[in-house]
Amino acid sequence: MKACANCGAENPDDASICQTCRSRAFLNARRNAVEDALKRIKTAWIAGIISASMTLIASLLPLFGISMAGFNLSGILLNIVGALLTGALAFGIYRKSRICAAGLFGYFLFWKIIFLLKYGLIFSGMWVGLIFLFCFVQGVRGTFEWHSLEREQLNKSL
């Protein structure tokens, strides 16, 4: 169905003019929904790459004598593996994987809770973490919406 940009009425996909107001301006609801889903997916995979990069950099800083909360020489291997996992999950989101989107959200949330329990509330880090969580929620929403729209399109073509 096509939505009229002028009055908002639903029209058949093959309509050339609105059946209600006779306008020729149509909004393709499916196209807009797909674009929104793809924007959410892009937000999440970019946030995943940024998070992986930040983790990798913070993991390597102890090698140069710079220490940050949660990042020290004893945990360098675990932190590097975590950065690689985050990057791999971000790539999965780029490929529109619902499992990777949910996995990255859960993985990030899990480690934020562990960090909070170990180091307490650090306000500067809290805001950055909330921004990443928001982005990862967008990825979950986007991948599920995208797959739903694709399944809907497949059902229409059958």
pLDDT tens-place string over residues 48-92: 999 999 989 988 888 888 877 666 677 788 889 999 999 999 999
Between 25 and 95, the more confident residue is: 95
Q: Which DSSP helix (H) or strand (E) runs through 27?
A: strand 26-28
Whether pLDDT at 38 is above 90: yes
Query: What is the C-alpha separation between 150 and 82, in angstroms, rounded?
Result: 32
The mean pLDDT value of the chain amounts to 88
The domain locations on the chain are 34-157
Distance between CA atoms of 69 and 80, rounded to whole angstroms?
A: 15
- pLDDT number for residue 27: 66
pTM, rounded to two decimals: 0.79
Q: Which two tokens stand for residue 75?
A: 């945990």
Non-local CB neighbours of 42 within 8 Å, separated by 6+ positions: 142
